[in-house]
Amino acid sequence: MSERAHLRLEDVHAGYGEAEVLYGIDLTVPRGQIAAVVGANGAGKSTLLSAIAGLVRPNAGRIILDGKEIGGARANSLPARGLALVPEGGRLFPFMTVRENLELGAYIPMARARTVERLEEITEIFPILRDRHNQLAGRLSGGERQMCAIARALMSRPALLMLDEPSVGLSPIMTERVLETVARLVRDDGLTVVIVEQRVTEVLTIADEAHILDHGRIVRSGPAAVMQNDPQIQETYMGL
Ligand SMILES: Nc1ncnc2c1ncn2[C@@H]1O[C@H](COP(=O)(O)OP(=O)(O)OP(=O)(O)O)[C@@H](O)[C@H]1O
Ligand SMILES: [Mg+2]
């Protein structure tokens, strides 16, 4: 497989206890690209991200990041390997300030040494957070909260960013802004992104490849531009 494969899953099976949720996932994401994963509720999208993040241990198969197998690695060892997950809803600490939330994102020693510098950079990328550093995260608007959650994930300077439905609770305009920020991070910093989204039309405008997850299996993959124009996908996932 090409050395441009940043993330590769080979026949990954995973689930919760006896219940298997993912049935043999094969997925390759080249460096510097955005992979969109779409599918119905309960298809296993969040479980897929959890497996990559080490929050769910695969029962079988391999997960390879940058040529190193990470399947079954503990979640707390992953930031040091350059991986960050923004879970659904962002999961900020509501009673801590924006700044404290961001500082928590830099908890690996390498990143911590440069926290102040990174805070400056992050504020450049997310100007919406500029005047909010001392505000409680629980008082942010939905869009600000999602931006803050992404910003927190970026504090550790990950090479691979995973986003679980960043548009939940956001207006169409705010969704567009969040997705555009993600696209810019990829363009400017060469970040690799795996993004799970229900807003299929919107996410396909920034994705390179799209993968359809159905009952724990990837049933179709292809260039986002091709998927966007596919009548079956339009009907099933884009409400057209
Ligand atoms: N912690 C858990 N323990 C047991 N079962 C779980 C757990 N989390 C998810 N599941 C089950 O795994 C299946 C896939 O769930 P998952 O959250 O991965 O789907 P999803 O595609 O992210 O759905 P949604 O679009 O609703 O977020 C579902 O049947 C769900 O009930
Ligand atoms: Mg989910």
Distance from residue 180's CA to the centre of ligand 1 (Å): 28
Q: Identify the pLDDT of residue 73.
A: 78
Residues near ion ligand 2 (CB < 5 Å) are 45-46
Binding site membership of 47 for ligand 1 (Cβ less than 6 Å): yes
Burial degree of 121 (CB within 10 A; 0-12, 13-18, 19+): middle
| Per-residue model confidence (pLDDT) at position 117 | 85
Residue 16 near ligand 1, beta carbon < 6 Å: yes
- Give the residues across from 25 on adjacent strands: 12
Given a contact cutoff of 8 angstroms between Cβ atoms, the answer to whether 103 and 155 are in contact is yes
CATH of domain 30-54+74-238: 3.40.50.300
Distance from C-alpha of 75 to C-alpha of 51, rounded to nearest angstrom: 9
What pLDDT is attached to residue 1?
Answer: 43
Q: What is the pTM of this model?
A: 0.93
Residue-wise pLDDT tens digits, 137-175:
999 998 899 999 999 999 888 999 999 999 988 889 989
In the numeric block, the tokens 């102040």 are attached to 116
Let me know: does 24 contact 11? Beta carbons within 8 Å. yes
Q: What CA–CA distance (Å, rounded) separates 70 from 6?
A: 12
Which residues of the chain are under the pLDDT cut of 70?
1-5, 109-113, 240
- Could you tell me the distance, in angstroms and rounded to a whole number, from the CA of residue 224 to the centre of ligand 2? 21
**Dist CA 223 CA 236 (whole Å):** 17
- CB neighbour list of residue 197: distance below 8 Å, 6 or more residues apart: 36, 37, 38, 163, 165, 166, 167, 203
Predicted pLDDT at 167: 92
- Token output for 231: 């009548």
Query: Pocket of ligand 1, candidates 16, 50, 55: which has the most ligand atoms within 8 Å of its Cβ, to mutate?
Result: 16
Domain ranges for the chain, please list them.
30-54+74-238
Centre of ligand 1 from the C-alpha of residue 47, in Å: 6
Strands 209-214 and 19-30, how do they pair?
A: unpaired
Looking at ligand 1, which residue's alpha carbon is closest to its atom 2? 16
Whole-number Å distance, alpha carbon 196 to ligand 2 midpoint, is 8
113 C-alpha to ligand 2 centroid (Å): 34
Q: How many CB atoms lie within 10 A of CB 19?
A: 6
| Residue-level pLDDT at 97 | 95
Position 4 scores a pLDDT of 63
Counting atoms of ligand 1 from 1, which one is nearest the CA of 39? 21
